[in-house]
Amino acid sequence: MIERLQDLPSDALGALVAESEEADLRFVRRLLDEWASGANRFDRPGEALFGARVGGRFVGVCGLNVDPYAADARVGRVRHLYVLLEFRRRGVGRHLVTAVIETARGRFDRLRLRTENAGAARVYEALGFRPSGGAADSTHVMELASEQAPGSRAMLEA
């Protein structure tokens, strides 16, 4: 049910845009606008956009970008996670973020994100993100490098 989106037909995320705007969240609209303008098509090395589909209908979305706030191409950023109200608490968010983490492994050393939403924070923390303790551009971080390369931490600390 999770798929990587190479293309984004303009009406594909219509229900998500409408619902999120009603909740005063603008990032799904921004995702669509930036895709349309070419500003962000999740197509730089390591990047990806995922959609969750149920019965042919998109019910969730989540993207992986090179972190625009980090001057380091090995830092990725989880962006634009949104799940339709009707489909929440069924694991859709968890599956989307898991797809992002799996895709990021090997390409990024660290994943960061910002969320003000307590439910979203629970999803991220359940998957291994840690609160980043007042960092300017993020609320949560996950180190990927040390997980996939045992000993790299020792090398860094040596």
Ligand X SMILES: CC(C)(COP(=O)(O)OP(=O)(O)OC[C@H]1O[C@@H](n2cnc3c(N)ncnc32)[C@H](O)[C@@H]1OP(=O)(O)O)[C@@H](O)C(=O)NCCC(=O)NCCS
Contact residues: ligand X, CB under 6 A: 25, 81-83, 88-94, 115, 117, 119-120, 122-123, 126
CA distance 97 to 61: 9
CA distance 31 to 136: 22
Closest contact distance (angstroms) between CB of 128 and ligand X is: 13
- Return the amino acid letter for 37: S
CA distance 146 to 119: 27
Closest contact distance (angstroms) between CB of 153 and ligand X is: 28
Residue among 25 and 73 whose Cβ is closer to ligand X? 25
Instruction: List helix spans (H) across 14-83.
Output: 14-22, 27-37
Q: Which of 27, 23, 12 is nearest to 63 (CA)?
A: 27
Residue among 115 and 132 whose Cβ is closer to ligand X? 115
Residue among 2 and 146 whose Cβ is closer to ligand X? 2
Closest contact distance (angstroms) between CB of 18 and ligand X is: 14
Closest contact distance (angstroms) between CB of 102 and ligand X is: 15
Residue among 117 and 148 whose Cβ is closer to ligand X? 117
